[in-house]
Structure 1
Amino acid sequence: MTSADASRTVPDRPDLRADCDNCFGLCCVALPFAKSQDFARDKRAGSPCHNLRDDFRCGIHTRLRDEGYQGCTVFDCFGAGQKISQVTFEGVSWRERPESARAMYEVFPVMRQLQELLRYLSELLELRRAEPVHRDARRALDDIERLTRAGADELLAADVPTIRGDVNTLLLRASDLVRAAVPGRKKNHRGADLAGARLRAADLRGASLRGALLIAADLTGADLRSADLIGADLRDTRLGGADLTGSIFLTQAQVNAARGDHATKLPPGLTRPAHWAA
């Protein structure tokens, strides 16, 4: 791919990244989790995690994987936590106003979805090949931005499935435009169950891997340049030496869930996790 899309930087928007210093620990309270290989114990929705400190920080943040909370290390609220804490509820926590807790927890998953859509739309607007979609994408982004700054009642009344559907149409059009620039026939693995698949050194340039299940798949040395990875499940996916340069709609949370090494090539703007092999 010869366009600037191949070397573009993932959008650097602090408001679309988790800022735990300005959040009331919402992901540690609002969401449930079940004892599994990702979580060391059960937790009910609306019940604070036993590791949550009085200052809303995680007491084992630097040891999450060692303590059996790998699931926490791959979760991304896309900045929903701090926006709810500081904008929707104007900096007043559920501890200070217990009567607000239920609404705060209910708003959290709504806001997270909206923030995730803003993340993808922001990336779309940096894709040169997707310029025919930019006008509609900018309008959608502005509309969602306004909604995220509305009150709790308006957020809870939002038709999120319809919003997601409309944005997904734009993302699909953008993906087609970007991947069309890759020569040759592109593989379509959209929604495919590729868990544990052996795909070492596979040529997946410009492929659609949207929503693909790639848990523990072996993509060592695979060529994923300009591939669409939106929603792909990369938990324990082996990416040692793989080239993800210019891949689109790949998030840091997906990267954190995978297993790469020093030779894995990531799009600029995404960082190599500390747990990856040296």
Structure 2
Amino acid sequence: MPEPTTALTADCASCFGLCCVALPFTASADFAVTKEAGKPCRNLDAEFRCRIHTRLREQGFPGCTVYDCFGAGQQVSQVTFGGADWRSAPQTAREMFEVFPVVRQLHELLWYLTEALSLTLAAPLHGELRALRGEIEELAGSTDPGFLLALDVPAHRARANTLLLKASELVRAAVPGKKRNRRGADLIGAELAGSSLRGADLRGAYLIAADLRKADLRAADLIGADLRDAKLHGADLTGAFFLTQPQLNAAQGDATTTLPTGLARPAHWR
């Protein structure tokens, strides 16, 4: 399966600190201060780097550690705006900050479509998935900010979701036994330690602070599941799909948590 030509992994060295400027945040457990959209974070230095990058959690900014632009930062900085940063070309700042979240959504879709193409059991859909990925990749690669701002992103998301859901059904159908459907379920703080959730549909489920220690989450669909502070110690996530690094970063776990291929154990896990 050919990989997309668009990089879907953040390269902060090639970005103008867009997530640190374009996005707003509110003083809370996730952020130590309140910041308006379009205003640089107080921790952003002159080289567009975070002064406290290695100490974000200790300094009260855990929200930053669970954010991923899926490569949209460098795409907007180096491609859409041709390498002209918002400090040296301030007339581009507002448009650049508005374009960034649009491209970020497109890149997230590309990430999911690319993962779907890696699912062998979803082979009957690979042709459609590849075609849609190519279409969205072309849109995201535009160098016309006005074109990007005018895109109907929800429509593209709906098309992608239809295919991703079909891919999920194909993969989970091969899992033996009865599969649990907890799509969009409110499982906040739920006691699910040791539960069998193999092949479960957990799309969009609220698993905030849920106890999933030693749970069987093999081949589970976790797209959009909220795993903030979920306890994944000893959980088996082998083959779980549509799970992103930000979701893992927001959860708790340890060395006994088994992760899907391609995802890294968060540094704060113990």
2:168 match: 175
1:15 deviates by 1.1
2:210 match: 217
What amino acid is the match of 1:28?
C
Q: Deviations over 1:152-206 (max 9, x none)?
A: 1111111101000000000000000000000111101111111100000000000
Rounded Cα–Cα distance in structure 2 between residues aligned with 1:215 and 1:12: 33
Rounded Cα–Cα distance in structure 2 between residues aligned with 1:48 and 1:202: 44
1:274 deviates by 1.1
SS of alignment partner, residue 7 of structure 2: helix
2:198 match: 205
Unaligned runs of 5+ in 2: none
1:149 deviates by 1.0
Rounded Cα–Cα distance in structure 2 between residues aligned with 1:66 and 1:239: 22
1:268 match: 261
1:184 match: 177
Q: Which residues of 2 match residues 129-208 of structure 1 at below 5 A?
A: 129-150=121-142, 151-208=144-201
What amino acid is the match of 1:228?
D
RMSD in angstroms over aligned alpha carbons?
Answer: 1.2
The percent identity for this pair of structures is 63
What amino acid is the match of 2:219?
S
Rounded Cα–Cα distance in structure 1 between residues aligned with 2:136 and 2:265: 30
TM-score, normalised by the number of residues in structure 2: 0.97
Unaligned runs of 5+ in 1: 1-10
What amino acid is the match of 2:245?
Q
Contact 2:6 2:137 survives alignment (8 Å): no
Ranked by relative contact order (alpha carbons within 8 Å, sequence separation 6 or more), the top structure is: 1
What amino acid is the match of 2:228?
R
Contact 2:14 2:74 survives alignment (8 Å): yes
1:5 match: none
Aligned residues: 267
1:13 deviates by 8.3
Answering whether residue 260 of structure 2 is matched by residue 248 of structure 1, we say no
Contact 1:28 1:48 survives alignment (8 Å): yes
Segments ≥4 residues shifted beyond 6 Å: 11-14
Answering whether residue 252 of structure 2 is matched by residue 259 of structure 1, we say yes
1:102 match: 94
Contact 2:14 2:78 survives alignment (8 Å): yes
SS of alignment partner, residue 222 of structure 1: coil
Contact 1:12 1:269 survives alignment (8 Å): no
What amino acid is the match of 1:109?
P
Q: Deviations over 1:78-109 (max 9, x none)?
A: 00000000000000000011010011011011
Answering whether residue 58 of structure 2 is matched by residue 72 of structure 1, we say no
Contact 2:16 2:77 survives alignment (8 Å): yes
